[in-house]
Structure 1
Amino acid sequence: MEIIQKERGSISNANVGWIELVKQLKINSFSKIFILTDSNTKIDCLPYFLSKVNFKQQPELLEMHSGEQNKNISTCIELWTTLSEKGADRNSLLINLGGGVVTDLGGFIASTFRRGIEFINIPTTLLAMVDASVGGKNGIDLGNLKNQIGIIRNPLLVLIDIEFLKTLPQAELTSGYAEMLKHGLIYSEEYWNELKQFSAANMNEVNQLIWASVKIKNEVVTEDPLEKGRRKTLNYGHTLGHAIESYCLSSEEKKTLLHGEAIAIGMILATYISTILCNFPKQKLEAVTSTFLKHFQKEFFTKKDIESIIDLLKYDKKNSHGEINFVLLENFGKHRVNCHVENQLIYEAFNYYDNY
């Protein structure tokens, strides 16, 4: 059981986290407490959450529809309106109980309502535990474009309890696993090799690996909270991955991909590009590719699909002065940021992926 101290609040694991939550509720004397869930976590996760905390005042429940397609300004307007109608003030607290969509949007709601109220993230998916809920990024999508509107502001507390993982389908667990593999790529080959043994059946091992990923991300975002340098490495594979995710979300012909499924493709592509531009070892490229394809089903992209995906790159958040910036690797844990990649090389990367 551990707790990581941060500038605002902390990241807590399991039993320590529940004690810290009760402590925060006691010392802050919030005027009102609101719990944001989606339609899934209301059923699957809310009962367990309420069984762990004895509230002195009855919290108000807010509910949004589940799914990335609802991480938008319309949902925000509905929730801002509900908060106002229910008498939320600047001393209120919003507890975000859910996956990455809930923690991203809930943090944005809290950071903008009445110019900012306190919020706590309780991630219920593997993806949210190791990525979305940690680091203070809060935001929403602009149409099908990922995370175009947002703010960086840390929650009062992040509480991680792997008991919530028991409610997840296998696809959601695998989606989160992609972000853990990313941590291995950008941090150390040793951690990458540990992750290859990941099995949701061994919850004790899962807990240890999740906590290792949380520590890696916390180290990176603490060093570079505003994403001026090292924090950009957390976007490894995301430049193309987000474009693939957005394209599949908007295309009637493509299957909608979970975030981790799209990012897994993006990381294979980025690692191939890294072998060309940064001399990432080719034998390690083969190992990376085979590991991802062992867990993630291969998708197929036509030349027209790739053209559309490349066109979406202009909306990537790391872009500057009209240039599309990639994060690439020289080796495990050895990165380059702000790399420029020609479109022809992107086509070559897709060809490598399609023909592997």
Structure 2
Amino acid sequence: MSTVTIAPITESLPAFLDSYDFSAIAVIADNHTFRFCYPELKPMLPKHTLVRIKAGEEQKHIATCELIWDALTRANFDRHSLVLNLGGGVIGDMGGFCAATYKRGIAFAQLPTTLLAQVDASVGGKLGIDFRGYKNHIGVFQQPNTVLIDPSFLTTLPERELRSGFAEIIKHCLIADAGMWDEIRRRDLDEQDWPALVAHSVAIKQRVVAEDPTEKGLRKILNFGHTLGHAVETYFLTQHRKRLLHGEAIAVGMVAEAFIAFQKKKIDQELLNATEEYIFSVYGNVRLVDDDIEPILALTLQDKKNRGREVRMSLLDGPGSCAFDVLVTPSEMRRGLEFYRGLNKN
């Protein structure tokens, strides 16, 4: 398991670099982190290669990987080199994947700059890219050499990005800490203690990943809300409608999947009500129409937790508890999405 350090980057990055003798260093950044975060790193780095890519989930594909691999190749990077992934989930997933596959693997470090990446994507060694519209369809498990989290980077984010990352915090509380769930749902978004919540989520994810590094069992609980959430996110990426951020789609998934858990008598009405009411208070309603439902359900057949043609979900099993490998039928998923649509809080 990788070391995760939560500290000012001005302290953690020099200490990490001093402990190794890398032959070359590359920084992968997108347009946003190049502007807002890279200037803070640059003075601390020796001579290095900067690989700058466009921002957004739409860039998380094999063609962008080819640009990254080409930059490393042209700079003569060998197997003693280091890649620093400076960005959110897209940069961390794709940059880590490129490092893990370049010359069969070189060192890389995650420097997450978004709330989503700090509390979830950067920890645990899941790396990958999207393929033909399917989320994280091609990838590997490979732990980074280190994860360096600086909560001050969160000040560079617009509120919508903070809200997106908060969905993963909500998820961690619902599946693993009922007490913290009660605390966060009594606060508005702008009242949350981000440094404390980052540390809390990292601790939960580290504990789960240490027990199940390659998602054969327990680690699947971290996918609560993600079977339908990823399907909704993927579907909206293909539509000429407002694009959903990852956390916004996962919020839809958590409400729909909480209803499925209720229908299966895994949670009571009180927890279902509290979940949907708080999530709607933070995220509002994503408009789904009749014609959206079947294409979204079809996308769940590519979910990585499935067994054969059977969709297997991770569902709440009471406050602060989650079951995994729960068989769910298309009709149950349809009812979950219809429940979400019926709430229509807008």
Q: Where on the TM-score scale, by shorter chain, does this alignment land: which range?
A: over 0.9
Matched, 1:193 2:182: yes
CA–CA separation in structure 2 for the residues paired with 1:196 and 1:286: 12
TM-score, normalising length: structure 2: 0.96
Matched, 1:327 2:314: yes
Q: Of 304, 307, 322, which residue of structure 1 is paired with 2:291?
A: 304
Q: Of 202, 212, 218, which residue of structure 2 is paired with 1:224?
A: 212
CA–CA separation in structure 1 for the residues paired with 2:66 and 2:140: 17
Decide whether the 8 Å contact of 1:278 with 1:328 is kept in 2. Answer: no
CA–CA separation in structure 2 for the residues paired with 1:199 and 1:352: 24
TM-score, normalising length: structure 1: 0.93
User: Which residue of 1 is the match for residue 97 of structure 2?
Assistant: 108
User: Which residue of 2 is the match for residue 348 of structure 1?
Assistant: 335
Matched, 1:244 2:232: yes
User: Which residue of 1 is the match for residue 197 of structure 2?
Assistant: 209
CA–CA separation in structure 1 for the residues paired with 2:257 and 2:271: 13
Amino acid at match of 2:256: L
CA–CA separation in structure 1 for the residues paired with 2:302 and 2:311: 9
* Structure 2 counterparts to residues 163-202 of structure 1, below 5 A: 163-197=152-186, 201=190
> How far has the Cα of 1:202 moved from its partner?
5.8
Decide whether the 8 Å contact of 1:187 with 1:333 is kept in 2. Answer: yes
RMSD after superposition = 1.5
Amino acid at match of 1:102: I
Count, aligned residues: 343
Decide whether the 8 Å contact of 1:239 with 1:266 is kept in 2. Answer: yes
CA–CA separation in structure 2 for the residues paired with 1:24 and 1:335: 36
Matched, 1:33 2:25: yes
User: Which residue of 2 is the match for residue 283 of structure 1?
Assistant: 270
CA–CA separation in structure 1 for the residues paired with 2:96 and 2:145: 10
CA–CA separation in structure 2 for the residues paired with 1:351 and 1:199: 27
Deviation per CA, 1:249-290, whole angstroms, max 9, x where unpaired?
0012x3210000000000000100000113311111011001
User: Which residue of 1 is the match for residue 141 of structure 2?
Assistant: 152
SS, match of residue 34 in structure 1: strand
> How far has the Cα of 1:218 moved from its partner?
0.8
CA–CA separation in structure 2 for the residues paired with 1:164 and 1:202: 18
> How far has the Cα of 1:294 moved from its partner?
0.4
User: Which residue of 2 is the match for residue 12 of structure 1?
Assistant: 5
Deviation per CA, 1:297-334, whole angstroms, max 9, x where unpaired?
20122222100000111110111122111111220222
| Identity between Structure 1 and Structure 2 (%) | 40
CA–CA separation in structure 1 for the residues paired with 2:72 and 2:311: 39
CA–CA separation in structure 2 for the residues paired with 1:103 and 1:338: 27
> How far has the Cα of 1:198 moved from its partner?
5.2
Structure 1 unpaired stretches of 5+: 1-6
> How far has the Cα of 1:194 moved from its partner?
2.2
Go from structure 1 to structure 2 and tell me whether the alpha carbon gap of 1:206 and 1:197 turns closer, same or farther (over 3 Å shift): farther
User: Which residue of 2 is the match for residue 3 of structure 1?
Assistant: none
Deviation per CA, 1:42-94, whole angstroms, max 9, x where unpaired?
0011112235x2x3x31211111100010000000111011100111101100
Structure 2 unpaired stretches of 5+: none
SS, match of residue 75 in structure 1: helix
Go from structure 1 to structure 2 and tell me whether the alpha carbon gap of 1:70 and 1:233 turns closer, same or farther (over 3 Å shift): same
CA–CA separation in structure 2 for the residues paired with 1:218 and 1:113: 26
* Structure 2 counterparts to residues 15-164 of structure 1, below 5 A: 15=8, 18-51=10-43, 53=44, 55=45, 57-164=46-153
